Structures are given as structure tokens and as C-alpha cells.
């Protein structure tokens, strides 16, 4: 390990398991005696992942209102603020619909921020999503983003190996299989990430930014924050389970593909997160599944779906009302991401400093 903090970006398409692997990696590194910080990123605000990271005791910063490339100055400010925790390793998660990370984020950091040691750029691949997007009839916008993310990876990890033991056949170098749930491959991935033997930011894309903007704008991006007071107390599991099920059914009936849906419930009885990556999928759950009933629930919803923002918003709002009770607080935003306009973009790889 260098005396400089190691900065490791972990990218990949929406729902690839970036946050889950980052948190598993953070726990493993803490067991080894390292101090860890994480940075989350989103086009909106009210992030499920930041709340989850802080609930696990991690020093967590966030860059909101745009991707790292468009909010590069904000990223630098968050990095500076995290220095108070004296981290040995900082794990940073770009927005799952973003690409061109090497040219717009890694190369500028290498050029202007010698205080950090850049680790190889890891791109995560959900095997189920890969098979879906590699089919001939796949959504061309989503497939474009997926392919471009692969092209700039220094290191590819196939996630969820506990569910998908066979890695997909991709037009990329051999990848590593990992499972944040079972721990398979996590320690070996970290060893490779921190070894200093792999090139960091070794690829700069050729990319059509007009096509990139169209691809990102094909998604509806919804963030919701609400405080719910129930007359009849319910457990987080009994609240989130039916909410996700009904929301999935409504979006499916409207012909709106779910790209990633994450919901948290923070109540006096405990904290629970549930997520799914496509319509009809069984949700993955983290946290206090056995928490008892409570009257007050603080909900966060992050939904990325391939549909019109106004329709997505109407469906989510109606399902929130269906939960009953009184809404003591509600913030909701649903929009299409703006065209990416990076603060910096390097046309070639910057030579690493000693």
C-alpha cells in the first residue's frame, strides 16, 4: 500500500450490484485493518445507497445532481471532506447509466490530484442483465451504455455468482466471478485491485455524445422521500413487500421495464432495504427482515425505468397512497437525465506519476 489513499472506482450498469459489492469490500478491508470511506453518485438526490452505507457505520460522501464527470468539482470537494477520516481506501460508485468515466474522471484525477493513488477501474456485470442486453432485440439505448462501460474497464467482475455460476460470454477480457452475498471472490478482487500490478484508467473511449445523451434520456429517474404515519402499525417487511409487488405489477401492466428499483424503510424497529433489477424479479433484501411493527416509517425510493417520467411518477404516487396512513413529509422528483457535459475530458491516457 502507498502512503497516499487508494481511490477505486467501481462502475457497471444499473443493478449490477455496485453498492452491495462496495459494502462487502469495505467490510473485508476493515477486517484487514484499513480505514475505508465510500462515495455514492446519482443524477438526483435522496440516495438509498448513502443511507445504507451510513447505517453500516461507514464514512460516506455523495455527489448528487449529476454524474461524476459533470460534477467533477463536487467530487473533489467530497474527496477533500473525507480526508478528516484519514481513509486508506476510498471506494467510489459512478451512476449506473454513465460511461466515459476514464476520460472524464480518472484521467483528470491522475493529471491534477497526485495525492491519490488510482486503482484499476472495475466494471461489474450482472450475468442476467448481460444476456438480456446482448440479445438481438435488446433495447438499443441500454445496450449502447452497457457495451461502452465494458470497453473502458480495466477489470471486469461478474457479480451474483451465487445465483449465476456460469459467466456470460462477453466481448471482453476474462472477468472475475464474485458474490457479495457469499463472499466468493471478494478478497481476491480486492487483492488484485490494490496490488498495483494492473493498469489504472488504461482505456479512453471513442464515444458519440449525442448517442450517449439519447441513451441516458431514455430512462425515467425517480427519487422519493416520505415519512408515513400508520394508524395500524406494520413491520418494514409487511410494508415494503406489498408495495414492491404492487408497484412491479403496475409498471409491468403499463409496459414500463424496471431497470433498477431500490426502497428503504427506516423505522424505530429497524432498517430494511429491498431491491429488484427487472419486472417480475424476486426482490433482494438487506437489513432487519424480522423487525417488529411500527407506526412511523421513513421511506426512500430510487426507481430507474424505461418509460415516460410523468407516467412513472403517477404510478409510484398512487402506490404510495395505497399504503394508507398519513404522509407527514413527501419529496419526489422524476425526470430524464440531462445530456452529459463533462467538466473535463482527456482524449488519451495520462501517464501515471511515480
Q: What is the pLDDT of residue 328?
A: 84
Fold of 220-335: Alpha-Beta Plaits (3.30.70)
Q: Tell whether the model's pLDDT for residue 164 goes beyond 60.
A: yes
CA–CA gap between residue 218 and residue 307 (Å, rounded): 7
**With the CA atoms of 198, 200, 204 and 209 taken in that order, what torsion angle do they form, in degrees rounded to the nearest 10?**
130
Q: What is the pLDDT of residue 79?
A: 95
CA–CA gap between residue 346 and residue 47 (Å, rounded): 29
Q: What is the pLDDT of residue 173?
A: 61
Q: What is the pLDDT of residues 85-132, one digit of tens each?
A: 999 999 999 999 999 999 999 999 999 988 999 999 999 999 999 999
CA–CA gap between residue 205 and residue 151 (Å, rounded): 7
Q: What is the pLDDT of residue 353?
A: 63
Q: What is the pLDDT of residues 217-253, one digit of tens each?
A: 999 999 999 999 999 999 999 999 999 999 999 999 9
Q: Tell whether the model's pLDDT for residue 32 goes beyond 80.
A: yes
Of 141, 98, 142, which is closest to residue 277 (Cα–Cα)? 142
How many angstroms separate the Cα of 176 from the Cα of each of 72, 131, 132?
29, 17, 20
Residue 354 pLDDT grade (very low, low, confident, very high; cuts 50, 70, 90): low
Tell whether pTM > 0.85. yes
Collapsing DSSP to helix, strand or coil, 266 comes out as strand
Q: What is the pLDDT of residue 279?
A: 96
Q: What is the pLDDT of residue 56?
A: 84
CA–CA gap between residue 318 and residue 327 (Å, rounded): 13
Q: What is the pLDDT of residues 200-211, one digit of tens each?
A: 999 999 999 999
Collapsing DSSP to helix, strand or coil, 275 comes out as strand
CA–CA gap between residue 163 and residue 294 (Å, rounded): 33
- In the chain, where the domains are located: 6-216, 220-335
Q: What is the pLDDT of residue 125?
A: 95
Q: Give me the chain's average pLDDT, please.
A: 93
Residue 2 pLDDT grade (very low, low, confident, very high; cuts 50, 70, 90): low
Q: What is the pLDDT of residue 178?
A: 95
Q: What is the pLDDT of residue 267?
A: 95
150 φ, ψ (degrees, to nearest 5): -65, -40
Q: What is the pLDDT of residues 256-308, one digit of tens each?
A: 999 999 999 999 999 999 999 999 999 999 888 899 999 999 999 999 999 99
Q: 3.40.50.300, 3.40.50.2000, 2.120.10.10, 3.30.450.20: which CATH number matches 6-216?
A: 3.40.50.300
Collapsing DSSP to helix, strand or coil, 166 comes out as coil
Q: What is the pLDDT of residue 55?
A: 82
What is the distance of C-alpha 314 from the center of its chain?
Answer: 24
Q: Which residue has the higher pLDDT, 43 or 12?
A: 12
Q: Tell whether the model's pLDDT for residue 216 goes beyond 90.
A: yes
Q: Is 124 within 8 Å of 17 (Cβ atoms)? A: yes
Three-state SS across the chain? CCCCCEEEEEEECCCCCHHHHHHHHHHHHHHCCCCEEEEEECCCCCCHHHHHHHHCCCEEEEECCCCCCCCHHHHHHHHHHHHHHCCCEEEECCCCCCCCHHHHHHHHHHHHCCCCEECCCEEEECHHHHHHHCCCCCCHHHHHHHHHHHHCCCEEEECCCCCCCCCCCCCCCCCEECCCCCCCCHHHHHHHHHCCCCCCCCCCCCCCHHHHHHHHHCCEEEEEEEEEEEEEEECHHHHHHHHHHHHHHHHHHCCCCEEEEEEEEEECCEEEEEEECCCCCCCEEEECCCCCCEEEEEEEEEEEECCCHHHHHHHHHHHHHHCCCEEEEEEEEEECCCCCCCCCCCCCCCCCCC
62 φ, ψ (degrees, to nearest 5): -145, 150
Amino acid at each position: 500500500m502507498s502512503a497516499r489513499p487508494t481511490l477505486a472506482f467501481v462502475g457497471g450498469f444499473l443493478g449490477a450490484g455496485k453498492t452491495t459489492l462496495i459494502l462487502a469490500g469495505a467490510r473485508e478491508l476493515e477486517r484487514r485493518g484499513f480505514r475505508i470511506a465510500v462515495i455514492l453518485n446519482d443524477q438526483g438526490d435522496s440516495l438509498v445507497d448513502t443511507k445504507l452505507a451510513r447505517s453500516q457505520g461507514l464514512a460516506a460522501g455523495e455527489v448528487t445532481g449529476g454524474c461524476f464527470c459533470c460534477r467533477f468539482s463536487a467530487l473533489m470537494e467530497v474527496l477533500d471532506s473525507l480526508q478528516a477520516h484519514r481513509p486508506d481506501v476510498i471506494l467510489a460508485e459512478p451512476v449506473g447509466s454513465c460511461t466515459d468515466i476514464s476520460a472524464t474522471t480518472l484521467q483528470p484525477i491522475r493529471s491534477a490530484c497526485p495525492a491519490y493513488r488510482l486503482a484499476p477501474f472495475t466494471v461489474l456485470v450482472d450475468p442476467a442483465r448481460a444476456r438480456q442486453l446482448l440479445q438481438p432485440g435488446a433495447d438499443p439505448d441500454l445496450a449502447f451504455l452497457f457495451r461502452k462501460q465494458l470497453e473502458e474497464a480495466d477489470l471486469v467482475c461478474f457479480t451474483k455468482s451465487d445465483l449465476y455460476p456460469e459467466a456470460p460470454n462477453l466481448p471482453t477480457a476474462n472477468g472475475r466471478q464474485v458474490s457479495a452475498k457469499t463472499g466468493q471472490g471478494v478478497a481476491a478482487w480486492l487483492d488484485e485491485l490494490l496490488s498495483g500490478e494492473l493498469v489504472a484508467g488504461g482505456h479512453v473511449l471513442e464515444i458519440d455524445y449525442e448517442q450517449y445523451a439519447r441513451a441516458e434520456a431514455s430512462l425515467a429517474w425517480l427519487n422519493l422521500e416520505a415519512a408515513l404515519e400508520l394508524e395500524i402499525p406494520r413491520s418494514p417487511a409487511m410494508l415494503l413487500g406489498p408495495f414492491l409487488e404492487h408497484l412491479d405489477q403496475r409498471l409491468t401492466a403499463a409496459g414500463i421495464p424496471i431497470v433498477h428499483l431500490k426502497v428503504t424503510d427506516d423505522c424505530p424497529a429497524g432498517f430494511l432495504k429491498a431491491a429488484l433489477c427487472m419486472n417480475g424479479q424476486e426482490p433482494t433484501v438487506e437489513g432487519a427482515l424480522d423487525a417488529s411493527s411500527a407506526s412511523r416509517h421513513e421511506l426512500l425510493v430510487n426507481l430507474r425505468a424505461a418509460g415516460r417520467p410523468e407516467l412513472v411518477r403517477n404510478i409510484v404516487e398512487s402506490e404510495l397512497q395505497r399504503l394508507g396512513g398519513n404522509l407527514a413529509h413527501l419529496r419526489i422528483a422524476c425526470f430524464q437525465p440531462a445530456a452529459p457535459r463533462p467538466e473535463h475530458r482527456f482524449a488519451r491516457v495520462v501517464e501515471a506519476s511515480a
